[in-house]
Amino acid sequence: MSTINVHYFASLREASGLSHEEMSFEGTYKELYLSLVQKYHFNLPPEMIMVAVDDEFSSMDEVIKPQGKVVFIPPVAGG
Amino acid sequence: MFSLSTTPISSELLTESLQNEKAGAIVVFHGWVRDHNEGKKVKSLEYQIYKELALKEGKRILEEAKKKFNLHGIMAVHREGHLALGEIAIWIGATSSHRDDAFKATRYVIDEIKYRLPVWKKEHYLHEKPEWVFCKDHHHHVHFSEKEFYSKQSALVNQDKLKNAKVLVVGAGGLGCPVLLSLAGAGVGHITIVDHDVVSLSNLHRQSLYSVNLVGEKKAIASSKKIQELNPFIHVEGISERVKLEHLQHDLMIDCTDNLETKYFLHDLCHKLRLPLISSSVYQNEGQIRTFIPGEGCLRCQSEVTPDDSLLGNCNDFGVIGAVTNTLGSLQASEAIKFLSTGENSTTTHTFYLNVADLSIMKVKNFKKEGCKTCAGEVQLEEHKVEVSGGMEILDIRNLTDEEVMALKPHNVALCCHRGIRSKKLAMKLQEEGHEVYSLKGGVSSL
Ligand SMILES: [Zn+2]
């Protein structure tokens, strides 16, 4: 199992009540996000989420890199 | 009475029109284009006039002259555009029974016009670059020059590149206001503002171009006037409509809108037209900003899906602070000025996330998917949209028949019925007839 540091942005931070947390997970970023949807009742589908891994955008279909910093970023629209 | 003319002034015709058998005198004054000013050789000049204001003020001056002096007639014409040496720049004629009144009135009018009319003069010199000069007070020869206007920033930017740049700003709200102020101040030569909304009281806490007396006015028009007053050396155009293809003849678009449907539409449109785009969004204390250069990575590289606004809410739902939108808007302007000056900036390669609450910053390297169609410009733009979720004036059609709505030919409004079905049908019909009409999604139940 690989430990990763998961960060939440904007509305995901509000819904989870956390800015970041450590966890262990194996699979793709999409699978990780779907498990978080279960846990925190995020209302956004994975197709609407961007993932950044170690400060680079990545594909949700990539397999999770061990020890990485993962940020889930929802779309933001105010102005 | 008072008028502006883009074509040469014919003194004979104007004199003739003042013919009056009661008059014993006519005094005519011609202001000419002379060949020198403050030691420089002038070869021609160009007048740029703030028309709405000039016409009002000119009319007022002539009315004052009529009150002060005993006149039969008075008329003044100011030229605009490019004038050669020796041409008539201003023509004033006054008739009176006795010559003294006509002399005094003519003198009064020319002095007041020189002092009060919002006229800008660009002098083309023989041996130097042309310069705009504001003739605010001819008595004291106080000239405001374009060079001086930019003197504090000239070491930091490429002023000529900014002057030649054409920038389209979509949305003149919380992000748009600081963007427009900074771009106008920096001297971006052509600024087009597209916004179909009107100013409302709840905008004022963050939209610093407006004030209480402008509530109900069109944002595109109010904001363009405001920044034109700030910098008369630039060209500003305000369009109170939704973005259309014919608006797009620019070097850069700045997206200051506040909903995802429009943001994605602008994003796709820019990729189709190969137009660079600087986009920003704000959510409470967090904001993000990114520059898109078509072909170098886009939102569709990450996901083909257009996010649904209804899952997110907007400023009306989650609240927004002026200091935060002003910060992000200023960053957009700064990115635009860098990009126009040098061809590069920091948000082309990275998306920048700023949390104003804890002042943390995250920069994420952008991602380009091989074979992305949007990056390649193969974009299928969505149909001209009919449904909106608010953000514009609402016309309640529940007590109107279809015929009555069609006869009203409404403009720039969203029709609202019980469930948004009849309003959609009518909005589509009205759009086909060329009216800027939308349907409020979900009808009254969504309000
Ligand atoms: Zn792409």
Per CB-CB distance under 8 Å, the chain B contacts of A48 are 303, 305, 307-308, 311
B 104-123 residues inside an 8 A Cβ radius of A: none
Give the integer Cα–Cα distance in Å for B216 and B206: 16
User: Which residue on chain B is closest to A56 by alpha carbon?
Assistant: B365
Distance of CA B303 from the midpoint of ligand 1 (Å)? 9
The per-residue pLDDT for B138 is 46
pLDDT in tens, B171-228: 999 999 999 999 999 999 999 999 989 999 999 999 999 999 999 999 999 999 999 8
Cα distances (angstroms) measured from residue B169 to each of A1, B83, B176, B334, B406: 49, 33, 7, 14, 32
* Residue A48 domain-assigned (yes or no): yes
- State the pTM of this model: 0.72
- Work out how many domains chain A is built from and give that number: 1
pLDDT, residue B279, reads 98
- Are residues B302 and A44, on separate chains, in Cβ contact within 8 Å? no
pLDDT in the model for residue B317: 63
Partner residue opposite B320 with nearest CB, options A49, A55, A78: A78
Using DSSP's 3-state secondary structure scheme, residue B392 falls into coil
Considering only the beta carbons, identify the residue of A43, A55, A57 that sits closest to B302: A57
Q: Enumerate residue ranges in chain B where pLDDT < 50.
A: 137-142
Q: What digits encode the pLDDT tens for the residues B4-16?
A: 999 999 999 999 9
Residue A58 lies in a domain: yes
Residue A51 lies in a domain: yes
- Is the residue at A55 inside a domain? yes
The whole-number pLDDT of residue A77 equals 82
> Does A50 reside within a domain?
yes
Q: Is residue A7 part of a domain?
A: yes
Number of A/B CB contacts below 8 angstroms equals 94
How many angstroms separate the alpha carbon of residue B161 from the centre of ligand 1?
Answer: 28
- Residue A26 in domain: yes
From the CA of B310, how far away is ligand 1's center (Å)?
24
Residue numbers of the domain that contains A41: 2-73
Distance CA B113, CA B58 (A): 7
Does residue A25 lie within any of the structural domains?
yes
CA B381 → CA B266, B272, B300, B370, distances in Å? Answer: 10, 8, 13, 21
Work out the burial of residue B168: count CB atoms within 10 Å of its CB; fewer than 13 is exposed, 13-18 middle, 19 or more buried: buried
Strands B387-388 and B437-440, sheet pairing:
parallel
Domains of chain B: 2-138 (3.90.1170.40), 147-365 (3.40.50.720), 387-446 (no CATH)
β-pair type (B350-355, B286-292): antiparallel
pLDDT of residue B140: 40
Average pLDDT, chain A: 91
- Ligand 1 centre to CA of B266 (Å) is 14
**Res B139: pLDDT:** 40
What are the φ/ψ torsions at residue A24 (nearest 5 degrees)? -115, 135
